A and B are shown apart, each in its own frame.
Chain A
Amino acid sequence: MVNHDWVHRSYKSEKAPGMKRLFLIPFVAASLLVPAVCAAQFNIFTGAFSISLTLEPERPQAYEAVTLRASSLFTNLSSANVSWYVNDSLAASGEGLTTFRTVAGAPGTQTTISVRATSSLGGTLSGETKIAPSDAEIVWESTSLVPPFYKGRALAGSGSIIRAEAFVRLARENGTPIPSKDILYTWSKNGSPVSSASGRGKSTFVTEAPLLSSADVISVRGASLDGTLEAEARTIIPATDTVLLLYPEHSLFGAFFNAAIGKTFTASNTEVLISAFPYFAEAAAPDDKRISYAWNVNGAPVAEDPAEPHKLILGSSGDGVRAVVDLSLSHTTNWLEAAHGLWTIDLIPGGIPAGDPFSPFE
């Protein structure tokens, strides 16, 4: 006679090890995972449940407004008394104060933001984060032509070369700035990485000026060698046409780059020397051999002076004269480089005028 109960119990006993394994594994896994999940929330050293802090923006720039939000999986902070500290100094406190706004410090500095919350049950929770603004800019210039002592930027004229330098400021946790030679630079042009220009300590970048009426976007990412810190910068470089201007020039004073000749100009002299200057041209100087000047006065072409092709002397025999000056500029190797201007210049006749006889101005 078979003892069905025993058989049933035996079946159950034989079956038990497999079933146990089936439930044991997930249980052990959960037992390990739960503490791991809770580790972010529970400080095993202080015994306090901690608070998660999120920053917006995630990587603030220097002096940028930052919003911090506190959250906790184990308590409802909206009913807790929440206190915010900036570098251990109480900055704000209130019930349910889960949002805090501050301003990032100077580049290279570090600000510690901590939060403490007392729940309705009396427990204390805390959280902490550091704001170490990483910062970066790109400064750039072009090799295009500008007058000496010109205080403005040499813009990206056709055919010129753009030279850029990145200033990236990363700081370690103790506030020590990371030197440029220990920063990994990754340069991109119009979204495409430029590997040849990228690398450790490679803070400079050289590229051609953008074409025609377009603009190039140059960006750089600077990161610490361990990848924990990084900052980004980008700049837009628009293409610029050549700006052709005329200036009066004087044997005693030189060229008057402060006073461009307007569309109409009156000179109180019987003779005036004018000098053309092509801003942002692909040239080393206004008399660069690659630049060709086609002067035309009152409809008649004027042969350029081979030594100073960018200069023209206008004179009158003693009677008043009006000179309509037409100047066209072209480049011997850059067909995109062209400019044109038209000026009307009146020379007042009749001896040495009253006042300053040497003034070329009205």
Chain B
Amino acid sequence: MTNRTLSRIALVFVCLMLLALGGWYLFLSRGNTATENLGAARGFGESVPLFGDDTGSTYANLSSAPGAGESEALGRPPQLWRVTATPVAGAGFITASSTTLLFVERSTGYVFSVSPETSAVKRLTNTLFARVYEAFVGSSGRSTMRFMSESGVLSGVIGTASSTQASANEFVHGDLPPHTKTLALSPDGSEVFYLIPDGAGAFAGVRTKEGEAPKKVLSTFISGWNAQWVKDDGVVLTERPASDIESSSYVLADDGVLTPLVRRVEGLSVRPDPESGALLFSSSADGGVSLFAQAGSGSSPVRLPLSTIADKCTWSGKAGIAFCAVPKSIAPGAFLDSWLRGVLHTEDTWWRVDARTGGVEELYTGDAGATLPDVTNPNTDATGSYISFIDGKTLSLWIFRIQK
């Protein structure tokens, strides 16, 4: 065998080896990619969740909203902004140097603050309350939370989350009485009203001011009241509604006297203006929904050209001016019943309402093709510039900036 032949054989062998190695490399590379993808989907390679950081591991892991998991400001959010994708239990604007919204995470009871101007989110508390179904936030930051145990026992707490601490802190709180049937927090958070069993089948309405002993202000045979707070006037109690069933609403004075506010309206919801005597109320009856405005007590109500319920309205802070979320469409039927039971959800546009004149003005209809949220629990900030609300379908938190 000549040297030339040997050289050729060696060359061919090397080429074949190179080809084999190249093929083996490609085979291994594809396998790694698949493994890496699977690992990433399982969360491998992600940084270890930190319970001690500003936003907390739960929020960071679960939220998919823009800017979520970040505590730094990301700039001005869009006019209609979904703050969180995860369910919240309640929210409210607080009095601060700049507009600040506090919200309570449903799964943990953690309190967060968010700036609707800069989109910065910050966790304020690290006290765990599992499965908070309902939360109210007063302008002072004092908040209530109500939750339900595995065995169905209702309990709650009331406390304050400080927005000035550098890092998340304990939620300093006291316990609310168990088995509360309804609860309302005053706008500034200094006082709470709740209804509790009082023995012999009766129920007591109790008002408690911060730092004072509870005071019984009402004795009633009925537990099914919805409570709202009206500045200076006290508490408005509305008989829990049902479509086509009459309900009445009353103002509960300090001396326990119930004065009628609205009487015998089918499917009644009310939204009294805490600043003036104006009132919005709605009726769900005969397959439809009607909204009425009343400029003051003793004034005749005026039917508004909007098909929505008072639950979707919030007062602006300027006397007689309110903002209402109006469903794009309402299917015929017992709307209120279906909506309260979560059977149907709406896509809502925003309108400005003047209760003094009955005038309405369209503010926001959303981008073409966009799915609008189902507005529940709307709240306006003190400047009347922002509205926070919770989407009825997903319980996510949203902020609507009234001016573009």
A and B: interacting chains: yes
Chain A interface (Cβ within 8 Å of chain B)? 62-63, 106-107, 135, 137, 139-141, 148-155, 163-165, 167, 169, 177, 203-204, 235, 238, 243, 245, 247, 252-254, 256-260, 262, 279, 285, 351-352, 355-359, 361
- Docked complex Cα distance between A135 and B264 (Å): 12
A357 to chain B, nearest CB (A): 8
Provided the pairs A253-B107, A258-B342, A260-B342 are in contact, do residues A359 and B394 lie with their beta carbons within 8 angstroms? yes
Residue B245, interface by CB 8 Å:
yes
* Chain A residues with CB under 8 A of B258: 167
Q: A135 near B240 (CB under 8 angstroms)?
A: no
Q: B222 near A165 (CB under 8 angstroms)?
A: yes
Q: B42 near A352 (CB under 8 angstroms)?
A: yes
Residue B63, interface by CB 8 Å:
yes
Q: A243 near B341 (CB under 8 angstroms)?
A: yes
- Docked complex Cα distance between A177 and B248 (Å): 20
Within 8 A of A (CB), among B234-251: 239-242, 245-248, 250
Provided the pairs A259-B393, A260-B343, A279-B341 are in contact, do residues A149 and B221 lie with their beta carbons within 8 angstroms? no
Residue B208, interface by CB 8 Å:
no
**CB-defined interface of B157-185 with A at 8 Å, one 1/0 digit per residue?**
00000000000000000000000000000
Residue B330, interface by CB 8 Å:
no
Q: B224 near A106 (CB under 8 angstroms)?
A: no
* Chain B residues with CB under 8 A of A262: 343
* Chain A residues with CB under 8 A of B259: 106-107
- Docked complex Cα distance between A177 and B256 (Å): 13
A170 to chain B, nearest CB (A): 14
Closest-by-CB residue of B relative to A140 is: B222
What 9 A-B pairs have minimum CB-CB distances, sorted nearest first? A254-B131, A141-B224, A252-B107, A153-B242, A165-B221, A152-B340, A204-B221, A153-B240, A260-B342
Q: B41 near A352 (CB under 8 angstroms)?
A: yes
Q: B221 near A163 (CB under 8 angstroms)?
A: yes
Provided the pairs A137-B248, A141-B240, A148-B152 are in contact, do residues A153 and B224 lie with their beta carbons within 8 angstroms? yes
Q: Contacting B62 at CB < 8 Å: which of A153, A352, A358? A: A358
Q: A151 near B222 (CB under 8 angstroms)?
A: no
Given contacts A106-B297, A152-B341, 18 further A-B contacts (CB under 8 A): A106-B298, A107-B260, A150-B341, A151-B340, A163-B222, A165-B222, A177-B257, A247-B342, A252-B130, A252-B131, A254-B133, A256-B87, A256-B342, A257-B341, A257-B342, A259-B394, A262-B343, A356-B86
- Docked complex Cα distance between A251 and B42 (Å): 20
Closest-by-CB residue of B relative to A166 is: B221
Residue B137, interface by CB 8 Å:
no
Q: Contacting B343 at CB < 8 Å: which of A155, A245, A285, A351? A: A245
Provided the pairs A245-B343, A258-B392 are in contact, do residues A155 and B133 lie with their beta carbons within 8 angstroms? no
Residue B399, interface by CB 8 Å:
no
* Chain A residues with CB under 8 A of B340: 150-152
* Chain B residues with CB under 8 A of A204: 221
Q: A152 near B240 (CB under 8 angstroms)?
A: yes
- Docked complex Cα distance between A107 and B298 (Å): 11
Closest-by-CB residue of A relative to B223 is: A141
Q: B263 near A137 (CB under 8 angstroms)?
A: yes
Q: Contacting B337 at CB < 8 Å: which of A152, A163, A203, A356? A: A152
* Chain A residues with CB under 8 A of B152: 148, 285
Closest-by-CB residue of A relative to B263 is: A137
* Chain A residues with CB under 8 A of B326: none
* Chain B residues with CB under 8 A of A254: 106, 131, 133, 148
Closest-by-CB residue of A relative to B394 is: A361
Closest-by-CB residue of A relative to B84 is: A356
Q: A256 near B395 (CB under 8 angstroms)?
A: yes
Residue B336, interface by CB 8 Å:
yes
Chain B interface (Cβ within 8 Å of chain A)? 38, 41-42, 62-64, 85-87, 106-107, 130-131, 133-134, 146, 148, 152, 154, 201, 220-224, 226, 239-242, 245-248, 250, 257-260, 263-264, 297-298, 336-337, 340-343, 345, 376, 392-395
- Docked complex Cα distance between A130 and B19 (Å): 111
* Chain A residues with CB under 8 A of B257: 177
Q: B240 near A151 (CB under 8 angstroms)?
A: yes
B228 to chain A, nearest CB (A): 11
Closest-by-CB residue of B relative to A361 is: B394
A218 to chain B, nearest CB (A): 12
- Docked complex Cα distance between A260 and B338 (Å): 10
B132 to chain A, nearest CB (A): 9
Closest-by-CB residue of A relative to B298 is: A106
* Chain B residues with CB under 8 A of A355: 64, 85
* Chain A residues with CB under 8 A of B263: 62, 135, 137
* Chain B residues with CB under 8 A of A352: 41-42
Q: B224 near A154 (CB under 8 angstroms)?
A: yes
Q: B336 near A152 (CB under 8 angstroms)?
A: yes
Q: Contacting B241 at CB < 8 Å: which of A63, A107, A152, A252? A: A152
Closest-by-CB residue of B relative to A167 is: B258
* Chain A residues with CB under 8 A of B154: 148
Give 11 A-B contacts (CB < 8 Å), ordered by A residue.
Answer: A106-B298, A139-B247, A152-B242, A153-B241, A165-B220, A167-B258, A256-B342, A256-B395, A262-B343, A356-B85, A357-B62
* Chain A residues with CB under 8 A of B130: 252
Q: B133 near A356 (CB under 8 angstroms)?
A: no
- Docked complex Cα distance between A253 and B38 (Å): 27
B337 to chain A, nearest CB (A): 6
- Docked complex Cα distance between A336 and B91 (Å): 43
- Docked complex Cα distance between A257 and B106 (Å): 13
* Chain B residues with CB under 8 A of A169: 260
Closest-by-CB residue of A relative to B58 is: A252
* Chain B residues with CB under 8 A of A152: 240-242, 336-337, 340-341
- Docked complex Cα distance between A253 and B107 (Å): 5
* Chain A residues with CB under 8 A of B106: 253-254
- Docked complex Cα distance between A351 and B63 (Å): 18
Closest-by-CB residue of B relative to A358 is: B62
* Chain B residues with CB under 8 A of A351: 38, 41-42
Q: B133 near A149 (CB under 8 angstroms)?
A: yes
Closest-by-CB residue of A relative to B258 is: A167
Q: B248 near A139 (CB under 8 angstroms)?
A: yes
- Docked complex Cα distance between A230 and B280 (Å): 31
A269 to chain B, nearest CB (A): 14
Q: Contacting A356 at CB < 8 Å: which of B38, B64, B226, B392? A: B64
* Chain B residues with CB under 8 A of A257: 341-342
Q: B226 near A151 (CB under 8 angstroms)?
A: yes
* Chain B residues with CB under 8 A of A164: 221
Q: Contacting A260 at CB < 8 Å: which of B41, B223, B341? A: B341
A200 to chain B, nearest CB (A): 17
- Docked complex Cα distance between A238 and B245 (Å): 9
- Docked complex Cα distance between A277 and B100 (Å): 38
- Docked complex Cα distance between A151 and B243 (Å): 12
* Chain A residues with CB under 8 A of B42: 351-352
* Chain A residues with CB under 8 A of B239: 139, 153
B332 to chain A, nearest CB (A): 18
